[in-house]
Amino acid sequence: MIKFLDLKALNARYQDEFKSKFESFLNSGSYMLGAEVVGFEKEFSNYCGVKYGIGVSSGLDALQLIFEAYKTLRILQKGDEVIVPANTYIATVLAISNTGLTPVLVEPNSQTFNIDINAILKAITPRTKAILGVHLYGQLYDVDALEAISNEHNLILIEDAAQAHGAEHTDGRKAGNVSDVAAFSFYPTKNLGALGDAGAITTNNLELSQTIQKLRNYGRTSAYKNEFKGFNSRLDELQAAFLRIKLKDLDNENDKKREIAQFYLENITSNQIVLPVGHSKQHVFHQFVIRCEKRNELQEYLSKNGIETMIHYPLAIHKQKAYIELSSMSLPISERLSDTVLSLPINASIKETEMLKIVSVINQFK
Ligand SMILES: *Cc1c(COP(=O)(O)O)cnc(C)c1O
């Protein structure tokens, strides 16, 4: 069986470094917001090319803390509308509704899977205050267009960069540095994955970063002095230590994913399959997502032939029971994508023989 993702094999490559890190962590006696978190925040913000990085407990918390910080600074308030793509992981939209804001779902472009520019323009109302773009599957959204729209309409631009660590715009700026503020997840399956929950926020906005830094730690300014009603959303010290080890290898890992993607793009020739589009530097291939009219049959056929695949995502947000209040929306592009997309295995532990098998099995699909 070719697994979709073998996390054990991926992390085994770092086990010696992880183990010696754990020993020194244990012996340090400093287990909360210590040298590892501070070190990771510095290294990750440098990597992204921004001034400030704040480690937090997950990707969802990163997104929620961004909205909470804007509310604390009285830049956003309850009920403000936030434009967001309908074809994303549910956490993107939960962050908006969980913080009392109103998600306004819009369609993606069916070629890039990313938020559609005309759909944004149609969705803007006097109550629109922000756009939450997603670099879906690892490919940057249309950075120039989103920056232009948000400048023209005076909207906050936020990146959900949970799938795009290291993706690079044509002007050299990386994911995390192509908006006002960005949220990252280091969930174990992400391109940069911890061994548990972890996340981060990157920004060049000092006031925002200071507010988030306080909010993630009970709103405190110093021990037992609290300026805001905050949260416990700290990045775990041990996860930060692991992430520092893996960050050094991120560019390598992304390049390996790009190579596998290139192999699929060149060798999958079946006319039943629509291949993804994307410029190589702008895309870190968190997922390699093909489309097929007979998607369910294809998935079953691949499974019978020992190839595990996944569907990202089988339901658009307005079709989720959790968002029943949005169920009357009509978003045909998002709905069609959820019926036709299929993610192929793409990670550094796949062997060449497995890649060959995957393409030959797919090319024989009738
Ligand atoms: C993984 C992910 C999140 C949530 O991250 P967690 O760390 O699991 O909370 C948010 N948005 C997107 C697009 C994701 O892929």
**186-202, pLDDT tens digit by residue?**
999 999 999 999 999 99
Ligand 1: nearest atom to the Cα of 92: 11
- Pocket flag, ligand 1, residue 163 (CB < 6 Å): yes
Which residue, by CA, sits nearest to atom 6 of ligand 1? 59
Atom of ligand 1 lying closest to residue 186 CA: 7
> Is 233 a pocket residue for ligand 1 (Cβ < 6 Å)?
no
- Does the beta carbon of 84 lie inside 6 Å of ligand 1? no
pLDDT given for residue 357 in this prediction: 98
Predicted TM-score (pTM) of this structure: 0.98
Average pLDDT of the residues in 174-181: 98
Conformational region of residue 74, where left means phi above 0, alpha means psi within -120 to 50, and beta covers everything else: left
Q: Is the CB of 88 under 6 A from ligand 1?
A: yes
Q: Are 136 and 114 in contact (CB under 8 A)?
A: yes
What pLDDT was estimated at residue 290?
Answer: 98
290-305 burial by CB neighbour count: b if 16+ within 10 A, else e?
bbbeebeebbebbeeb
Provide the sign of the torsion angle of the four alpha carbons 44, 47, 48, 49, taken in this order: positive
What is the whole-number distance in angstroms between the Cα of residue 241 and the centre of ligand 1? Answer: 20
- Which pLDDT score is estimated for 119? 98
Query: Measured in angstroms, how far is the CA atom of residue 270 from the centroid of ligand 1?
Result: 32
Residue to substitute in 132, 163, 186, 243 for testing ligand 1 pocket (most ligand atoms within 8 angstroms of CB)? 163
pLDDT at residue 280, as a whole number: 85
Write down the pLDDT at residue 278: 85
Residues 55-70 pLDDT 10s: 999 999 999 999 999 9
Say yes or no to pLDDT of 161 above 90: yes
pLDDT at 21: 97
Convert the pLDDT of each residue in 94-139 to its tens digit. Answer: 999 999 999 999 999 999 999 999 999 999 999 999 999 999 999 9
Ligand 1: which residue has its CA nearest to atom 4? 59
Q: Is the CB of 193 under 6 A from ligand 1?
A: no
- The predicted pLDDT at position 325 comes to 98
Residue 279 confidence (pLDDT): 83
CA–CA gap between residue 162 and residue 177 (Å, rounded): 13
Structure token digits, residue 327: 């169920």
The mean per-residue pLDDT over the stretch 163-171 comes to 98
Ligand 1 neighbour 344 (Cβ under 6 A): no
Ligand 1, atom 5, lies closest to the CA of 59
The Å distance, Cα 96 to ligand 1 centre, comes to: 13
